[in-house]
Amino acid sequence: MANTFTQIYYHVVFSTKERRRVLFSERREDLYSYIWGIHRNLGCRLHRIGGVEDHIHILVSIPTTLSMADYVKEVKTGATKWIKTENVFPDFTGWQDGYGAFSVSRDQKDEVAEYIKNQAEHHKKVSFLDEYKRLLREAGIPFDEKYL
C-alpha cells in the first residue's frame, strides 16, 4: 500500500467583488469560523485566516486530491452561501473572479501566519491593491494591472 506525504503551505488571497469594503469586523470572526468548517469538510488544514473589510488571507495545506482551483471555488461558494443565507454582510455581492495563491516555505510559515493575523494593523498603512501587487512581484508573477 502506497502512501502520499506532502508538506506544502499556500498563502491564498482573494477580494470581495470590486474590492467593496463589506466584511465588517462585527461578524468577520463568524465568517472565519464558517470557513474553518469548510476546510475541515474538505480535509484541508487551515493554519491561519484573517483579513479586513475587502479581502481575506488564508494560510492552508490542501490534500493532494484537491486542486487549488477547486479548493478556492469550494471556499468562495460555501462562504457566499452562508453570507447570503444568514444575511451576515448585507452589502456583500460576491467575491472577485480570481485569487492569488503563493507557496510558502516551512521556514516562512510562522512569519506568514503572523502577517495574516495582523491584517487590520497592516492595512492602516497599505491598500489591498498595493499589497496584492507586492505579493505578485515578490513571487515573480507577471500581471497586467487592468486585471487586478
DSSP-assigned states of every residue in 91-131: T---B-S--EEEEE-GGGHHHHHHHHHTHHHHTTTS-HHHH
Mean pLDDT estimate for the chain: 94
Residues 19 and 128: their CA atoms lie apart, in Å, by 8
Please state, in angstroms and rounded to a whole number, the distance separating the CA atoms of residues 101 and 139. Answer: 10
Closest to 32 in 3D by CA, of 52, 18, 17: 52
pLDDT in tens, 16-26: 999 999 999 99
Question: What are the tens digits of pLDDT across the range 48-62?
Answer: 999 999 999 999 999
Measured CA to CA, the distance from residue 77 to residue 86 in angstroms comes to: 14
Average pLDDT estimate for 33-44: 97
The structure's pTM equals: 0.92
Per-residue pLDDT tens for 114-136?
999 999 888 888 888 889 899 99
Distance (Å, whole) CA 148 – CA 144? 7
- CATH homologous superfamily of 9-139 equals Transposase IS200-like (3.30.70.1290)
pLDDT tens across 68-97, in order? 999 999 999 999 999 999 999 999 999 999
Domain ranges for the chain, please list them: 9-139
